[in-house]
Structure 1
Amino acid sequence: MATATSIDVRVAVFRGEPIDQAQWRHTALSFSFGDQSPPIVIHAVGSPHAFTLEVKQNCRPESEVKFAQAIQVGQLRGPMTNAELVFFMSQTPINNLDREFNCQVWVEQALARLKAANHLTGEQYERGVDGMTTVLMEATDEEMD
């Protein structure tokens, strides 16, 4: 039986394709566990009107080729199991009817749900969203407009 443990949350940002501009950068939530069980990444993947939720078990974003930076959000306020976390995060809606919806919107909404459920503080939420925005704007091809 899985034991609830502390969970550390980070926002992972990956360089954009085909060019590295803020709008093309991919974002995901990365979780590591206090009991040293394998880390996971949860994110919205796909294209406009066709996004799905992906859970990658035993995934370390920093080992990915397109990895740009991780923003330390903080530790969840209470312990959870891997399964409880995945279930909670999977309840963050994916809105394929909204043309503006993307992985970046999903990450912000997922952090907001964690805050609303008192799993994150307001300060942690702001750190995650502000940090993500800053790293998105640091895209190397951003001046190409």
Structure 2
Amino acid sequence: MSTKRNYDIYVAVFKGIPMDFCKFRHTGLWFYPDEGTEECYVHVVGLTGEFEFETRLGWDPANTVSFAKKVKVGTTKRSLTTSELVALSQSIPVENRNPEFNCQQWVQRALLALFKNGYITEEEYNNGVNGMIDATMEAEDETLP
């Protein structure tokens, strides 16, 4: 049985490929445990209409070439196991029938679920969503008219 622990929560933001535009920036949730276990990264990956949930244990998003920014959300207010964290994340709907759906929307909904389940505060939820939006707006190839 896994040990319950608290996690620092971050939104990991990656540069867009092939061009670093806001809409191409990829996002996911990065959970860093307070002690003794590997970090956990969750996200939806794929093309529009074909997104799939993915979990990566022991993976550090900052060690990738496309990593752009780590946005601090907060720390879980209640302890939980990695399995519980993954199950909660996996319960967030992947809306492949919606052509507007993307990974950024999924992260927003996952943060909302963490808030509604008492793991983060409303302020942390808002800071996470706003920080993610700010980080996506920092896309290097985006030009303003």
Q: Same fold by TM (over 0.5)?
A: yes
Partner of 1:45: 45
Counterparts of 1:119 and 1:6, CA distance in 2: 9
3-state SS in 1 of match to 2:13:
strand
CA displacement at 1:36 relative to structure 2? 2.6
**1:32-111 map, 5 Å:** 32-111=32-111
> Which AA in structure 2 matches 1:55?
T
Per-residue deviation at 1:32?
0.8
User: For residues 24-65 of structure 1, what are the alpha-carbon distances to aligned partners after superposition, in whole Å with 9 as ceiling and x for unaligned?
Assistant: 000000001112301010000001110000000101111011
Given the alignment of the two structures, is residue 10 of structure 1 paired with residue 10 of structure 2, yes or no? yes
Residue ranges of structure 2 left out of the alignment (5+ in a row): none
Counting aligned pairs with the same residue, the percent is 37
- 1:118 aligns with 118
Deviation at 1:144, TM superposition (A): 7.2
Cα deviation per residue 1:79-127 (whole Å; 9 max; x = unaligned)? Answer: 0011111111100000000001010000000001111111110000011
What corresponds to 1:29 in structure 2? 29
Backbone CA RMSD of aligned residues: 1.0
In the alignment, the residues of structure 1 paired with residue 144 and residue 133 of structure 2 have an alpha-carbon distance, to the nearest angstrom, of 19
Distance 2:76 2:123 in 1: 12
Q: TM-score, normalised by structure 2?
A: 0.97
1:140 match: 140
Secondary structure (helix, strand or coil) at the match of 1:18 reads coil
The secondary structure found in structure 1 opposite 2:143 is: helix
Q: Report the 3-state secondary structure (helix = DSSP H, G, I; strand = E; otherwise coil) of the residue aligned with 1:143.
A: coil
Query: 2-side partners of 1:136 and 1:121: how far apart?
Result: 23
